[in-house]
Homo-oligomer: A and B are copies of this chain.
């Protein structure tokens, strides 16, 4: 086999790892599988990345493009946010691998950061008032509940539901978490 540069090999290991971790998760992916996927050997995988967990952390990242949300009126934010989350196909695999690996402290820390940046952040930016932090956390919990039911549990009623209908219905629920049922005030306080 022709030699590659270290960087090229490194990149192929990373690509193979990202694909396998997304498809099979952390536990069901062996360092040997990754090496085979990158047409090299297990020793090199460890040499470049230290441990299997560090390689996992190196590859299991995602961020959504939340720029389309900036201009959305607050009243439509819930539905549009759900739409954006379900739009990106890469998100699912990474999110699942992180949730299922979250018994490891470092992986849970990564999940916390992504939860904060992806779910809490965009919501928090649109709220104000003394309890905005808690309300953003509660709304993020509602958001997390959809991905959890849809991807972790694979609830049949949701998996087989019409995608647009799901976005409309769950978006409306999220909207209530954001602006509350009494929508007569400009920035809307929560119930109570």
Chain A residues packing against B (C-beta within 8 Å): 24-28, 96, 99-103, 108, 111-112, 115-116, 120, 133-134, 136-138, 140-146, 148-150, 152-155, 157-158, 161, 168-170, 172-173, 176-177, 181-182, 190-192
Contact = CB atoms under 8 A, between A and B. Distances in A.
Given A100-B99, A120-B155, A161 B148 contact: no
A111 B173 contact: no
A142 B144 contact: no
Contacts of A141: 145-146, 148-150, 155, 158, 170
24 contacts: A99-B99, A99-B152, A100-B102, A102-B152, A102-B153, A108-B154, A112-B155, A115-B155, A116-B155, A136-B157, A137-B155, A137-B157, A137-B161, A141-B149, A141-B170, A142-B142, A144-B145, A144-B149, A145-B146, A145-B148, A148-B148, A172-B191, A173-B177, A181-B181
B145 A143 contact: yes
A93 to B, nearest CB: 12
Contacts of A192: 168-169, 172, 181-182, 191-192
Most buried by B among A103, A111, A154, A176: A103
Contact of A176 (B25, B140, B154, B173): B173
Contacts of A108: 153-154
A120 B158 CA distance: 12
Nearest to A190: B169
A41 to B, nearest CB: 25
A170 B137 CA distance: 10
